[in-house]
Amino acid sequence: MSDQGGYGQPGGGQYGGGPGPYGGQPPAPYGGYQPYPGQNDLGVYGVGPSGGGRPAKVTVLSILAIIFGGLGILGGVGLLILSGISEITDELERQTTMGAGVLRLLGAWALLAGIGEIVGGIFALQGRNWARLLLTAILGIGVLVNVFSVVKGQSAAQSVPSVGVSIAVIVLLWMKDSSEWFARGGRPVLPGGYPGQPPTGGYPGQPPYGGR
């Protein structure tokens, strides 16, 4: 009697049974999905819950941008209100060179920057590169505003930390892993295609293209 495997016999590569006749992976039963070695539960090589995902620094910075954007809006509205109170503006002008006009300018900037930070933070979480450019522009202008405030008489102790934080955030947003995330538009890199496309083997649970 031949020892060649067949249906229902061990070692014969039968459906739902042991290893195949050529030493490969055991075949999956009808309707099942058998991942290849190294493939995760998403059917994607090397891409897991954290593989190719959003860098933690981008997540943290985007959330902080949204939070500080909201605070910036409140601060801007407050400055615009204070700029209309003559007692405050007169006292401020005696102590510094900033009058009501400068206070209105700073208030308007804080209001616009706050809105921009919220928008930029939301879309940076989605990997939109224009959002990173928007946040970079706002932070860069913020550095200039802080320098302008020091020239106008504001204490450097208040502006220098803000300048340092802004520069640090810009550097973090343009680091290699952050740049790769934004270059992909927030999509993971999948093998066998362009970023964001499924691998050539099809979606999980489906056979490779052209197979049955």
7-60: per-residue pLDDT in tens? 444 444 444 445 555 555 555 554 554 444 444 443 333 333 345 689 999 999
- The answer to whether position 156 is within a domain reads yes
> Which of 123, 136, 139 lies closest to 63 in space, CA to CA?
123
Asked whether residue 103 is assigned to any structural domain, the reply reads yes
| Beta strands in 67-156, from DSSP E residues, in sequence order | none
Residue 33: C-alpha distances to residues 19, 51, 198, 202 (Å): 15, 22, 16, 11
Domain containing residue 175:
56-183
Residue 125 inside a domain? The answer is yes
pLDDT of residue 189: 64
Average pLDDT over residues 93-100: 72
Residue whose structure tokens are 């290893």? 19
pLDDT value at residue 45: 35
Q: Which residues contact 194 (CB under 8 A, 6 or more apart)?
A: none
Q: Which of 56, 50, 31 is nearest to 206 (CA)?
A: 31
* Residues 6 or more apart whose Cβ sits within 8 Å of residue 125: 54, 58, 59, 62, 63
Structure tokens at 209: 């293209």
- For 36: left if phi > 0, alpha if psi spans -120 to 50, otherwise beta; the answer is beta
Residue 210 lies in a domain: no
Ranges 8-17, 69-78, 162-171: which has the least confidence: 8-17
- 62-99 burial, b at 16+ Cβ within 10 Å, e below that, comes to beebbebbeebbebbeebbebbeeeeebeebbeeeebe
**Which of 26-35, 153-162, 178-187 is predicted with the least confidence, judged by mean pLDDT?**
26-35
Q: Is residue 64 part of a domain?
A: yes
- The predicted model gives 172-195 an average pLDDT of 79
Question: Does some domain include residue 32?
Answer: no
Residues 48, 40 contacting (CB under 8 angstroms): yes
Lookup: tokens for 2:
């031949």
Asked, for residue 34, whether it belongs to a domain, the answer is no
Q: Is residue 6 part of a domain?
A: no
Domain count, the chain: 1
